[in-house]
Amino acid sequence: MTEGVQSYKDLLVWQKGIQLVKLVYTVLQDFPKDEVFGLQSQMKRAAVSIPSNIAEGWGRSSKPNYIQFLRIARGSLFELETQLIIARELGFVGEVRYNELINLITEESKMLNAFIRTLSIA
pLDDT band at 112 (very low <50, low <70, confident <90, very high): very high
Amino acid 22: pLDDT: 98
Burial of 96 (C-beta count, 10 Å sphere; 0-12/13-18/19+): exposed
As a whole number of angstroms, the distance between CA 21 and CA 68 comes to 21
- Asked if the model's pLDDT at residue 62 lies above 80, the reply is yes
- pTM over cut 0.85: yes
pLDDT band at 1 (very low <50, low <70, confident <90, very high): low
Could you tell me the residue ranges of all domains in the chain? Answer: 8-121
Average pLDDT value for the chain: 94
Amino acid 3: pLDDT: 65
* Secondary structure letter of residue 95 according to DSSP: H
- 72-107 pLDDT, tens digit per residue, is 999 999 999 999 999 999 999 999 999 999 999 999
- Asked if the model's pLDDT at residue 31 lies above 80, the reply is yes
CATH number (3.30.360.10, 1.20.1440.60, 3.40.50.10420, 3.40.50.1000) of 8-121 reads: 1.20.1440.60
Amino acid 6: pLDDT: 86
Strands, E assignment, 6-122: none
